[in-house]
Every structure is written in C-alpha cells, then in structure tokens.
Amino acid sequence: MTTAVVDIAVDTSRTAAHAHPIAPVRPGAARRRAPASTPEILHVATPDAAFAAFAAGSSAICLSPFTGSVDVARRLADAADAAGVVGVVPFVARYHPAVRAARGRVAAGELGMLLTLDCSYLQDALLGADDSALRPTGGPSRAFAEVGSHLCDLMEFVSGHRIARLTARTRRVFDRRGGVAVSGEDIASVLIETDGGALGTVVVSQMAAGHPDALTLQLHGTARSLGFASERPGELRVGGRVGSRLEGEDGDRHTDNAFDAFLAAAYAAVDLFPPRDIPTLRDALRAATLAAAVVESAATGSWVETPYGGA
C-alpha cells in the first residue's frame, strides 16, 4: 500500500512524513481537493476534506466530533453511503479491552435489568481564562460536542440502550478566553432516560482541575454493576450483592492499545463493506443530535426527546 501525507502547508507534510516515516509526500494539496490518485482511505480533519474524499471514492477516518452541526453530520453520512465508502469517527474508547468485556457482559444479561447509569468526562484543558478552546465544532455546543460525544457514544455502545430524552443545564465560566469572545459551554450536567427505562446522569467539564482526560462509566443492574475509568483503562470493576472486584490489569493510559485497535478495525472496514461494529459517521450524527438536544434543553429548561431514528 502506498501511503502519502497531504497538507496545505509543505513543511507540515514533510515533517509528518519524516517523523513516521511516510513516503511519498504530496505537499501543498488544496484543502478541498483529494490527492491526484485515489487512496483507499484518508485521514481528514475537516468536513470539506471528507466530502472531497467521498466524491473521489475514498473512505475516510474523520477527527471527532468532526462537526457539531446536525445538518452537516447528516449530509456527511449520506455522502459516504451514496459513494459506497466508509466514514469512520475515532470514538476510540470503544476499543479498550475492559470496555469490550463490559459490553459482552451486558449483552449476555449478566447485569439483569439495567436500572441506572452514572457517567462523566472530566478534563482540565480549559481551566484558565487564557486557555483556548480545543477546536471549533461547527455547532452551538462546545464541551458536550467535544468530549460528551465520546462519553455518550461509549454509554450507548456498552449498555445497548439509547438516550430517549434528556434535560440539561450548562455553564460557560469565561465569556472571553485569551481576549477573544467565546460561545458554547465549559460544563454540562444532564439527566437522561433511556429507551429501556434506565435513568442516568452525564457530567461533562473541561474545567476539572487534576483531570487531563478522565472518562468514567458506571452501569447498575438488578443483578450486577460494572465500572470503567479511562485513567485505569485495563480494569473493569464488577459489583455484586456482597461487594465488588477488579478484573483485568491496570495500565498506563498512554500505553493502552485502544487507538491501535481502532485503526486496525477502521482499515479492515474498508475491505468489509458495509462496516460492522465500528463508529461511523452515523454515530457522529447521533453525537451531533445529542449535543443539539443538550443546547436546546439548557436554553428552554425542558425535557427534549432524542429519537435514534436516522442516526
């Protein structure tokens, strides 16, 4: 397989190619234009690049959340489907072995009836007024679209439930960051009800001191509970009537192989079209739909329905 680096900046292309190493380098490609040849799969950072890839017949791995706009997310998913290619979103948390084990236990009925879900994603990237937003999401939500998308995808992936309705409160701590006006929330607190009748809480914050990247997921059923924390990604906490135990081995999150597993699945999906069991642009659409519901609920103070159809 021939691999190429494409970037609007020549120096960026060369630096990336030499670092990995990758050859040949195709420097200075226009942002809206795919490479002259048609690679099987591209790594893209903007919706424009994804649309170009699909039009050229290439599959694409798209940065997440990629877009916070429901309309753009839907058009991207439709474009990939129409072209018969794969648009993959890196909801990498799905690929921790402990997460896979948790999903298998839920599917096997080991939890009994799922009663409650307790989930959070905490970061400290925006703790100070001079910290800049990580990247624009193309929609009205910031923190929830940025990291809540990963959390809700993981929760629905593991539990098999879908968030049916929610009510949310959000907070923007600083109206200006580094002297620049900002929009969107820094913190979101959400109550949810799933299509299976479970109740839950979702807390997202990019202003949680001491937490560079802390995702937690707790599922409680009538027979058993399960707990996962990204800061100890090799462990799965299994709870019962008489206590709980840890399964697996703790590992440094920086050496966890979840990202490698994700990439392997993404590349395999190109040869196994239609893709199965990988996060696609339909999941990105789902994430954008939930982020929009959070914004709507926070603005109106009401419960908002979040049907899964079309995602």
Q: What pLDDT was estimated at residue 205?
A: 97
Domains of the chain, earliest start first: 92-253+281-289+301-305 (3.30.360.10)
Sheet of strand 304-305, all strands in order from the earlier edge strand to the far edge: 243-248, 235-240, 225-229, 214-221, 114-122, 199-205, 187-194, 163-171, 304-305
Q: What pLDDT was estimated at residue 232?
A: 92
The phi, psi pair for 114, rounded to 5°, reads -75, 125
CB 181 within 8 A of CB 170: no
Condensed to tens digits (0 to 9), the pLDDT of residues 169-200 reads 999 999 988 888 888 899 999 999 999 999 99
H or E element that contains 107: helix 97-107
Q: What pLDDT was estimated at residue 268?
A: 86
Condensed to tens digits (0 to 9), the pLDDT of residues 36-61 reads 567 888 999 889 999 999 999 999 99
Question: pTM here?
Answer: 0.86
Let me know the angle formed at the C-alpha of 300 by 171 and 176, rounded to the nearest 5 degrees: 30
Q: What pLDDT was estimated at residue 260?
A: 92
d(CA 227, CA 211): 18
Q: What pLDDT was estimated at residue 33?
A: 47
Q: What pLDDT was estimated at residue 6?
A: 58
Could you state, in chain order, the average pLDDT of each consecutive group of 10 residues for the chain (311 residues)?
53 58 46 58 89 93 80 94 93 95 97 98 94 65 93 97 98 90 93 97 97 97 97 93 77 66 88 76 94 96 86 56
